[in-house]
Structure 1
Amino acid sequence: MIAAQPADAPALAALHALAFPPAERWGAEAIGLMLGMPGAFGLHLPGLGFVLARVAADEAEILTLAVAPSARRQGHGAALLAGAMAGAAARGAAAMFLEVSDRNTPARALYAAAGFATAGRRRRYYADGSDALVLRRDFTISS
């Protein structure tokens, strides 16, 4: 797993296009802008998937996590999620949030296995009319 850079945006956009329906796909320009935001970072498994996240104060957010369909169910999503959580915690985050479609059963299972719990719901958030579940996971602070 490598750190994603703005120069990786075209490759990341190609992966995003494989992983998401047309109305939810992010282009290279949007991904490059995301990577340039204060507190943003990304992790990339070339050709397989990537995650973009950001940290503001003591909270982190998964902006997107994409795994190519041919690479799913091989642990890549879990590895990217774990890397994002570790990166956020290292940057001072005490909790992480994300949004996932209530219809995306595989992603919901991934997040539940990583300790995320429902913190809210955004009705008809996605282009297909599905609700977004807002998930949260607190990070354990070791002393």
Structure 2
Amino acid sequence: MALTDYFARKPEFDIFPLEAADLPQAAAIHELRFTPCWSDGELHALLVQDTVFGFIARQSNALTRPITGGFVLARVAAGEAEILTIGVDPKFARLGLGWRLMRAAIREARDQAAETVFLEVDETNIAAVGLYRKLGFAKVGERRAYYQGVNGAKTAALVMRLDLG
């Protein structure tokens, strides 16, 4: 073990409601994870809608300014919730941030009287599919050739549902 390992801090994150000031960091994470990515303006256009809410994970033990580790954006309408997008910075993958962000969104959806939560995920995103299954989501549909990767290959979007009842 190197001497510097003794001084390294494992990042710790807290979950906060997503605000307009957080959107540049959320857009930067979205750009790391998705093609095409959403700009902070596109995220803002969603967040200002009455039915839309989100959460952000900020590092609580950072020595300088707080670091954003991930975010989730969702909406509730007519008893149904939809996860619009979720992204975790690859530097902080496998730390449970996706789980915590999804749990926050699900809890808020339930508080807003949603009975179900829907989402779409690229069939090739094995980590995300695994996370959603662990949370209790089940595949209820598929949109063939929905996503197009940077190499031009088309993949299916899995439509998944979680019943909150």
TM-score of the alignment, normalized to the shorter chain, above 0.5: yes
AA matched with 1:39: T
TM-score, structure 2 length as denominator?
A: 0.81
- The CA deviation at 1:18 is 2.0
AA matched with 1:69: P
RMSD, matched Cα: 0.9
- The CA deviation at 1:77 is 0.3
- The CA deviation at 1:19 is 2.4
CA distance, structure 2, for counterparts of residue 108 and residue 24 of structure 1: 20
Percent identity for Structure 1 against Structure 2: 41
> Where do 1:120-131 residues align within 5 Å?
120-128=141-149, 129-131=154-156
2:80 counterpart of 1:80: no
Match of residue 116, structure 1, among 128, 134, 137: 137
CA distance, structure 2, for counterparts of residue 40 and residue 6 of structure 1: 12
2:115 counterpart of 1:99: no
> Where do 1:1-143 residues align within 5 Å?
1-20=15-34, 23-46=35-58, 47-128=68-149, 129-140=154-165
CA distance, structure 2, for counterparts of residue 27 and residue 36 of structure 1: 14
AA matched with 1:108: V
Larger-Rg structure: 2
Tell me if the contact between 1:7 and 1:32 (Cα under 8 Å) persists in the aligned partners.
no
Structure 1: 4+ residue segments shifted above 4 A: none
* Cα deviations by residue, 1:92-114 (Å, 9 ceiling, x for unpaired): 10000000001110000000000
CA distance, structure 2, for counterparts of residue 111 and residue 85 of structure 1: 11
Query: 25-34 or 1-10, which moves further after superposition?
Result: 1-10
Aligned residues: 138
Of Structure 1 and Structure 2, which has the larger fraction of its residues in strand?
Answer: 2
CA distance, structure 2, for counterparts of residue 6 and residue 85 of structure 1: 21
- The CA deviation at 1:139 is 0.4
